[in-house]
């Protein structure tokens, strides 16, 4: 009997704060309009740092430079109506975002970006796409930071796939 190995889905998220407000995206989901940090999946051959910069640009039209790893988080998401049961591993980074690039379209499903205070973020928890959103921000506010060199990506990750 062959056993299929369980594989979590790896995602990255950007925590961007300016003047006590946090940059979020409002996005269309099967559950309605939800709030999230700029976030998305780690693509094959991509480092976590490259992924968070790419996802932030795609979802906010703003360039992002990660400065520290805030934490590594896990959560399970179940949607029985669609037979979905996914465990996510989220690498959350804090850093600086530049100004929005004029004319840059937002990723499909992203309705808009918005800046919320910590109190507004706490009050909107029913609209959070991920239960990890608030925890990541709370950890950021508490001062949790790991240096970026805590993440090592072996060069083999970016090598072309060997065809067999």
Structural domain containing residue 111? 9-145
Based on the structure, what is the number of domains in the chain? 1
pLDDT attached to residue 152: 94
Domain CATH code at residue 100: 3.90.79.10
As averages over each run of 10 residues, the pLDDT of the chain (164 residues) reads 82 97 95 95 95 98 98 89 85 97 94 97 95 96 97 88 70
Residue at 133 is within a domain: yes
Please indicate, yes or no, whether the overall pTM of this predicted structure exceeds 0.85.
yes
Residue at 162 is within a domain: no
Residue at 105 is within a domain: yes
Q: How many CB atoms lie within 10 A of CB 85?
A: 10
Residue at 32 is within a domain: yes
For residue 31, what are the CA distances in angstroms to 75, 90, 135, 152? 17, 20, 21, 36
């Amino acid at each position: 009997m062959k056993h299929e190995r369980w594989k979590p889905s790896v995602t990255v998220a950007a925590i961007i704060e300016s003047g006590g407000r946090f940059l979020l995206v409002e996005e269309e989901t099967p559950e309605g309009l939800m709030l999230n940090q700029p976030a998305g999946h780690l693509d094959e051959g991509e480092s976590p740092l490259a992924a968070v910069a790419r996802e932030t640009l795609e979802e906010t039209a703003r360039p992002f430079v990660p400065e520290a790893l805030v934490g590594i988080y896990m959560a399970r998401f179940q949607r029985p109506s669609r037979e979905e049961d996914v465990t996510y591993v989220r690498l959350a980074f804090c850093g600086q975002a530049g100004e929005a690039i004029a004319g840059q379209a937002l990723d499909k499903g992203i309705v808009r970006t918005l800046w919320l205070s910590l109190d507004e973020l706490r009050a909107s928890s029913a609209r959070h796409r991920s239960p990890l959103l608030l925890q990541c921000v709370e950890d950021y506010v508490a001062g949790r930071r790991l240096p970026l060199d805590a993440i090592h990506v072996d060069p083999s990750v970016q090598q072309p796939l060997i065809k067999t």
